[in-house]
Amino acid sequence: MTRRQRRWPIHLALIAVCFVMLVPFYWVLKTSISGENIFSYPPSIVPRDPQPFYYVDVWYAIPFARYFLNSVVVSILTIVANVVLNAMAGYSLTQTFPGKQIVLMLFLSCMMIPFQATIIPAYLITGKLGLLDSYLGLALPMFSTIICIFVFKASFDAVPRSLIDAARVDGLSEWRIIWKVMMPLAKSAVATNVILSFIWSWNNFMWPLIATRSQDMQTLPLGLARFISYQEDTTGALYAFCIMVLAPGILLFLLAQKEFVQGLTTGATKG
Amino acid sequence: MSVTAIDTADVRPRFTRRRSTRRAILIWSFLAPSLLIFLLYRILPLGWNLLLSFEAWSPLKPAVFIGFDNYQEMFWDDDVFWQALWNTLGIIASAPLGIAIALGLALLVNSDIRGRDVYRTLIFLSYPLMTVAVAIIWRWMFDERVGLINFVARSLHLADQPIPFLNSFTWALPCVIAANIWQMLGFYMIIILTGLQTIPGNLYEAAEIDGANSFRRFLRITLPLLRPSLFLCFVIGMLNSVTSFDLIYVMTNGGPGHATEILVTYIYKLAFNQTRFDYAAAITVVFFMLLLAVTWAANRLSGGNVGAVEHD
């Protein structure tokens, strides 16, 4: 087989690509710990006089803890709602019932409606509900996601029919079947739901931008955008802030990469 | 409220018909919360948006039906709209470039080499990151004074003067597109990789026996069988990049002038900075139609498989 020879060009190409993918991170990280004036030219390649003071600056320049808390609360609301609502909807789709085709059609057409095409009425509706500038209002539009419903459906479909029938004969209600029989067997679907909804809500920028008014309700991405509009990019603290915001996402991704990728590919190929 | 219905479900009903009605109600009640969210934040906004586009309305004035006036203003009198439309189309047209690079990468990381999982992880890493932070990273990379790209260009004597990338009418849009491709690359790669792994290996063996070289095998086996994956990438990539509001808002805010204005940023500015909800709604309608048209075309080209769900 010719396939076994000449691997070094492949490695070379991939190393070059990985380099391009990673250099931007490095450049920002370098700026955030460099002790020299960030605008001195030529820029140093390795951080000169490394120091952590920009990270300290972030704490004084902005209410980082408040932004962080807001992001965490909104993310937790989103995650819990997603797991519960999507599991229920996903279970329903494994059953036969009148009107199933309509529901499937509805879900598929909703997938074609990007959130950005609904912002004006979404803002007005949330206003009518009195939820602008509240945690619930920030999380509500993301309470259920169609991709994740299909992730649960795929996972529940793999549970043997006989097991569900046995549970029914034992007198378990449908509600109990979901939580006692299906969920323990769908751990990876739960993990996928948790990770996808966390990443989506953690990174969400446009909706909080529209739906919050007071600084007290702003989430991390908004804080980052606000920082740059007030201070421009004149201080290394901006890049320290950037790293502090990216770190949790990167860590979580490295820990749960499998579930994340699985969720994306299930969602993409099945829905 | 549905809890009581569920608790009584294990009382055996006498007639199967009654039982099946009750089961249907139960299942619909499981679906209800999700459906409610989608009705409230997908379906209802779509209708309301359409209605709003035919009205003259702002939060303090009563709505007046004005027919196609908003559309007339948009198509005949609004240069910014046209600029935003062209920029949006430009970003859509750039998606195949990213997908082509990702296809190459997917073929490389699909080969049997040591450490391929590490490569995959590193290439994919940029996708799940907060786009606002990605925008700040790339602002810094493209910085006129000490950005790495200017530094490299000047060190290699490709440029005599520092190029103000994000303040330049020529460069701003390509720079935003580059940042977008950088973020989406890993996602495309993963989707294509999943497609590659569904191609049966014996096809390649048969072709090899028949004397087809690796280029012909790629052209005749890999590419046709990957077609659904590639178009799926295109549709998702298009939805993602056209709507990449965060990236543009932070990197350039549509500037300089309106050189990087896309429909979404323009809609946002009209609605939430100038409170022209009615006119912004009309542009939203056009934006949505554009997405539908491109998705539909991609769907037809791919053989109609994109987004298809397995029915049982």
Identify whether B276 is part of a domain: yes
Considering the domain architecture, whether residues B102 and B233 belong to the same structural domain is answered as yes
Token match 């809500």: residue?
A: A201
Any B CB within 8 A of A67 CB: no
Each residue's pLDDT tens digit, B52-88: 999 888 777 788 888 888 898 889 888 899 999 999 9
Any B CB within 8 A of A12 CB: no
- What are B61's strand-pairing partners? B58
Check if the beta carbon of residue A116 is closer than 8 Å to that of residue A165.
no
Considering the domain architecture, whether residues B106 and B177 belong to the same structural domain is answered as yes
Which DSSP string corresponds to A152-191? HHHHHHTS-HHHHHHHHHTT--HHHIIIIIIHHHTHHHHH
Identify whether B200 is part of a domain: yes
Contact A120 B267 (CB under 8 A): yes
Of A81-85, B288-292, B297-301, the poorest mean pLDDT is in B297-301
**CA separation (Å) from A110 to A212, B74, B252?**
25, 27, 31
Work out the angle between the directed axes of helices A8-33 and A237-255 (0-180°, nearest 10): 140
Any A CB within 8 A of B130 CB: yes
What superfamily would CATH give domain A63-265? MetI-like (1.10.3720.10)
Of B95-109, B154-168, B263-277, B278-292, the poorest mean pLDDT is in B154-168
What residues does CATH 1.10.3720.10 cover in chain A? Answer: 63-265
Q: Hey, how many other C-beta atoms are within 10 angstroms of the C-beta on A77?
A: 19
Each residue's pLDDT tens digit, A168-190: 888 888 888 888 888 888 888 89
Each residue's pLDDT tens digit, B114-165: 888 888 889 888 888 889 999 999 998 888 888 888 888 888 888 788 888 8
Identify whether B94 is part of a domain: yes
Considering the domain architecture, whether residues B48 and B80 belong to the same structural domain is answered as no
Identify whether B65 is part of a domain: no
pLDDT at B16: 66
Any B CB within 8 A of A227 CB: no
Each residue's pLDDT tens digit, B6-32: 444 444 445 567 778 888 888 899 999
Chain mean pLDDT for chain B: 84
**Using CB atoms and an 8 Å cut-off, which of residues 36-55 of chain B contact chain A?**
37-38, 40-46, 48-49, 52
pLDDT at B1: 38
The partner residue sitting opposite B272, judged by closest CB among A21, A143, A210, is: A210
Considering the domain architecture, whether residues B13 and B150 belong to the same structural domain is answered as no
Mean pLDDT over residues B101-123, rounded?
88
Q: Rounded distance, CA A40 to CA A27, Å?
A: 14
The partner residue sitting opposite B9, judged by closest CB among A20, A111, A174, is: A174
Considering the domain architecture, whether residues B47 and B134 belong to the same structural domain is answered as no
Q: Half-sphere exposure of residue A139, counting CA atoms within 13 Å on the CB side?
A: 21
- Which CATH number do you get for residue B251? 1.10.3720.10
Q: What are phi and psi of B62, to 5 degrees?
A: -70, 150
Identify whether B275 is part of a domain: yes
Identify whether B18 is part of a domain: yes
Cα angle B108-B113-B116, degrees, rounded to a multiple of 5: 70
Q: Which residue range(s) make up the domain with B44?
A: 3-53
Q: Hey, how many other C-beta atoms are within 10 angstroms of the C-beta on B265?
A: 23
- pLDDT averaged over consecutive 10-residue blocks of chain A (271 residues)? 66 90 89 78 77 84 89 94 93 88 89 87 92 91 89 88 87 85 87 88 91 88 86 78 88 84 68 39
Q: Rounded distance, CA B188 to CA B181, Å?
A: 10
End-to-end CA distance of chain A: 38
Question: What's the total number of domains in chain B?
Answer: 2
Considering the domain architecture, whether residues B101 and B173 belong to the same structural domain is answered as yes
Any B CB within 8 A of A25 CB: yes
Question: Beta strand B55-58 with B61-65: parallel, antiparallel or unpaired?
Answer: antiparallel
